Structure 1
């Protein structure tokens, strides 16, 4: 083959390969001709980020880092210029993290808190072009530690509950041991030690021994039988007395009913008498009122002193005339002069 034709074919093949690579990079690679706006981010560390590292929001790529540099004051960390796709809006209260895979470059990850995701879009405040975001980058290890803390918090609560339960069982065991500790009845009676199950069993055993001794004594058993018989007789007498008291109560109740009826009649009579007395008092009141008003002869006597004095003088004269007439009659009788009426 002609060397010139061969070199031409080789050059065309290489050119086609370069053009194909450029097309694939344009379609599927990092180079995209989308418009962006800038945001400034201040982090404590960059940890693997490069000026071409991607930027994601909740796992979706929204731009890439344009530049990274140390802050004017190194204690502030690093500053970054980030290009965000023009149609992407970033919430103002986002959380920043650095996602670093085991194989590949690091990614600046933005995450929205759950509170933002649960609110209507109108209540979310978004960043404007040129705004600055301050934050602390959480690495993969920090994220793993946070997840472990969240998972272990429930385990810590379970451990605390188990410890409280263990303490409760220890206290119960100590109390049970105290209840079963051997003690003497003498110490308990003297107040040196509190009673427990051991002393209670000992006391029950003592009572059982006394009971067996009492059951074995014929004299005590005969006394008990007599006491039981007397108690039975006393119970019968009490029953009889109770029946008698019941009959007496019934009779008293009947008499009380009769007395109640008689009392009702007496109360009715007293009411009639009270009404009569009321009428009489009213009449006396009327008479006294008439006397006070000067009505009638009695009223004139009370109100007119001259009339009273005149009547008194007339009564005295009448009394003297009657006395003289009596003396004259006596004189005529003594002289024997008959008097006919």
Structure 2
């Protein structure tokens, strides 16, 4: 059977179209001859993920991202991926977008989970986004940047305040204060040296003084032992007895009992003593004025003299 040129041209054109489609999909990472599985994941933001980005499981590339499109009017994005590897994982396995370095782009990793029913082609996996290097650095550097800016601002304020404080007059006062401090330090050094010399020169005296203190402490200890042996209870009882006796005497004096009580309380006793004192004084006065009346020596007899009443010196 002879094939015409038109048929050959048509076959070549179809073959070229098939090769073009196959090559295009192969360049996109889709092998049309392989038994691929297609999975989906939904994201709010794909973080720069692009078609033909690698799909990995535990770091091994098992497929590529085949398509990215909007899912609905709310802005959700549907990502489809082809997985050529027959590695099994459950429907709860997560499709995680990761990467995003300074040079490399984003990739898609399937975090396998083995609990529950196994995933089949056409299933939608839970999607999540892992922080990339740049995002992580930005998250860490942003607080540090804020702190550095605050520190710089505080440092500027401190420097301005310091410059305001350290005017020429303040600098001069500071220099004078440092000079005074050096002088004080020198005086203190001299005093310390003198104190050391004094301690060295009086070392024997200090030793004797400390020895005397030790002896005094020992004597005080002996005195404390002696005091501890004193019968304080007996002394207290004797003192209480003496106080009781003194109270009894004072009570009897207040009640006018006894000679001393009558002397304090009975006015008659006082009047009698007062009269006796007056009479004794008059007798002594008369004895001084008329001694011959009481003592008289005469060879010729006694001649009585008329009695003269003594003057009452108490009136």
Band the TM-score falls in, shorter-chain normalisation: 0.3 to 0.5
TM-score for both structures, normalised by structure 2: 0.34
TM-score for both structures, normalised by structure 1: 0.32
Structure having the larger proportion of residues in helix = 1
